[in-house]
Amino acid sequence: MLRSLAIRDFVIVEKMELEFDSGFTVLTGETGAGKSILIDALALVLGARADALVVRQGAERAEVSAEFDVSALKGVKKYIQKQELTDEGESCLVRRVIDAGGRSRAFINGTAVTATQLRELGELLVNIHGQHQHQSLARAPAQRELVDAYGKLDAQAEKVAELHRDWRDKAERRRAFETNAAAYVAERERLEWQVSDLAQLDFKAEEWPELTAEHSRLAHAASLIEAAEFGMETLSEGEGASLAQVNGVIARFKNLLDYDPKLKEVLDVLEPAQVQLQEAVYSLRHYQQKLDLDPKRLRDAEQRLDAIHSAARKYRTEPEQLPEMLAKARARLDELSLAGDADALKKFEEAAREACVAEAKKLSIGRRKAAKQLAEKVTAAMQTLAMTGGVFDVALHALDEPAAHGLETIEFLVSAHKGMTPQPMAKVASGGELSRISLAIQTITSQIAQVPTLIFDEVDAGIGGRVAEIVGKLIKDLGKKHQVMCITHLPQVAACGDQQWQVAKSAGNGKVASKVTVLGKTERVEEIARMLGGVKITETTRKHAAEMLKGAD
């Protein structure tokens, strides 16, 4: 949900910092006070189009930032990971900066992103319904996703998408073979020869360091033998050998310890040296015993190295890369062997298409059932929202070919009044009607809605009295499962809010500014009384306002 919103130098707002609660928040105030500016600012930070006109007069830039609690939003977490953005745990911070020249910069968790990325994330966080952008229910993909979610068909839809990808991959492989058959044959012949050549070499990666070490040892065997003999002579076998002299020094010092214990310090250094020299002698003797001049083994090692280097030059690679080259050639040859059979490729493609269509048909059955139920419930809700005789329908238009999303497109149709033929929702509904229809849909689908924050702007357009009270109660019920905000001019709707904010505009020093006040209980009575009675507020009006608040609670 939305935790906070910070606005600076945006339209008529110089500086504003707001903290949001869960439940249903109403925004009220005089016409022109700037209520919609808050929604516009939120839309901007969620990727809406912007220009230099949003920058407050005289300011260098406008800046809007919003913090969201995303601890329970798996979709948002997944998006952040997919886009390789910084994961801030339970929080997500989005920021948008527009300079006076109209240049825009966007950030998610401190990382610069495109406006498209901001908009994609915003669609997972907030739905804004009304005469604004972010009207996601007007988009065909959103309509399809809502029907699938309502019918609990998400997993089935994803399976269809996977089968469709598999079918298209196989179709592409078949087309590629038909287009490049000659090239496939030539490549396969080349790889067959390469695999045969490298397999005959029988060279494994682990052989290379062992072979080079053995060749080096055999090639310098005479020098190594001479050095080993010199070492043994110097350390232990010759006259004046080092080990014998060290042993003599130690023995003599030990005999003199009784006369001067300070010699113990010298012995403590010499005795470890004696042990290490003795170990060196043992190791050198063992090494010397294994050294041998073996011309035949040297020739064999040199021939093996020549064969490997020759293959590496032939294939323009490093010797140690030859085994990996052989593995890749074999894998590609296997692919070509499969891809080289046109009949088999066609059969694979047809089988993949049949699997996709079969699963898509099951999805279509579920969609028809969900669409019928959703249409009936939304139509029933419309009758209570000043659209008596209105009809909501969900049309499923069959496709000529299966698509990634199934065998049909989904379109929401609506007639706001009796006798009218249902038309696409985005084209025929007015701003107020669209908001109320969206309200009906969101109320009905609230148990499966994934977007945590819903905002309704002017859902009360063209209604009043009993209908306004119904709208208020619907939004209040929606606020039990979502964070909901609503701009309203109707006291019946305002009274249903869990909290109420008053937006006011003031003028001073030649500048117009907007501010928001969080209203307490007494202040709410005054504000609702103003909405009821206009300029002159009487005690009777205040009493009526208090009764409305009490009744809503």
pLDDT > 90 in the chain, percent: 29
378 or 36, higher pLDDT: 378
Contact 171, 349 (CB under 8 A): yes
Contact 475, 486 (CB under 8 A): yes
What does the domain layout of the chain look like in residue ranges?
Answer: 2-159+355-519, 202-335
* Secondary structure in 3-state letters for 16-61: EEEECCCCEEEEECCCCCCHHHHHHHHHHHCCCCCCHHHECCCCCE
Confidence check: pLDDT of 444 > 90: no
Tokens of 58: 């005289």
How many whole angstroms separate alpha carbon 480 and alpha carbon 488? 19
Q: Which of 15-19, 218-222, 257-261 has the lowest mean pLDDT?
A: 218-222
How many whole angstroms separate alpha carbon 113 and alpha carbon 489? 37
* Closest alpha carbon to 131 in 499, 500, 459: 459
pLDDT > 70 in the chain, percent: 90
Helix (H, G, I), strand (E, B) or coil at 407: strand
259-316 pLDDT per residue, tens: 888 888 888 888 888 888 888 888 888 877 666 666 677 777 778 888 888 888 988 8
- What is the model's pLDDT at position 551? 84
One-letter amino acid identity for 68? Answer: F
Across the range 92-111, mean pLDDT stands at 92
Q: In terms of residues, how long is the chain?
A: 553
The model's confidence at residue 461, banded by pLDDT at 50, 70 and 90, is: low
240 or 407, higher pLDDT: 407
User: Which helix (H) or strand (E) covers residue 110, if one does?
Assistant: none
The model's confidence at residue 132, banded by pLDDT at 50, 70 and 90, is: very low
Residue 8 vs residues 11, 13, 55, 64, 97: alpha-carbon distances, Å: 9, 7, 9, 6, 10
Residue 202, sorted as left (phi over 0), alpha (psi -120 to 50) or beta, turns out to be: left
- What is the model's pLDDT at position 63? 95
388-427 pLDDT per residue, tens: 898 999 999 999 999 999 999 999 999 888 888 888 886 7
CATH match of 2-159+355-519 with 3.40.50.300: yes
- What is the model's pLDDT at position 437? 81
> What average pLDDT is seen over the chain?
85
- What is the model's pLDDT at position 270? 86
Residue 542 vs residues 232, 253, 521, 522, 526: alpha-carbon distances, Å: 112, 111, 12, 10, 7
Query: Locate tokens 């903290």: which residue?
Result: 19
